[in-house]
Amino acid sequence: MCKYIAIGYIGVVLTAIAQVILKYGAIRQGNKSFLSSFINIYAFLGYGIMFGITLINLYIFQFLDLKYILIFLPSSYILVVFFSALILKEKIERRKLLQYALVLVGILVFNL
């Protein structure tokens, strides 16, 4: 079971990376045409990673209890904020930190 939990956390990290790639691609495209925001290398890469993670999740969720799965989903939201701050140099506001602290508390309370 530990193997599947480790794979799940790798999936969480890759999901956050894919979302940052998609966001970076959207920033680079700017106000170009609607179609160009979906047909670029960043969109293909981001959605490709997300598709691969979806397949991996379908596989590992067969072997894990629901309590472990519910940890993975909100964890990716938190990582996206930190990766955006590291890679895209976005500022993390106090309000966002409070919101993500509440998510962490919810994960902890749910799993006690």
**Res. 103 pLDDT band, cuts 50 70 90:** confident
Q: How far is 70 from 110, CA to CA, in rounded Å? A: 9
Q: How far is 63 from 2, CA to CA, in rounded Å? A: 10
Q: How far is 17 from 24, CA to CA, in rounded Å? A: 10
How long a stretch of residues is the chain? 112
Q: Is the per-residue pLDDT at 112 higher than 80?
A: no
Q: How many CB atoms lie within 10 A of CB 37?
A: 17
Q: What is the mean pLDDT of residues 14-22?
A: 93
pLDDT of res. 73: 77
Higher model confidence: residue 4 or residue 77? 4
- Angle between the N-to-C axes of helices 41-60 and 2-29, in degrees from 0 to 180, rounded to the nearest 10: 160
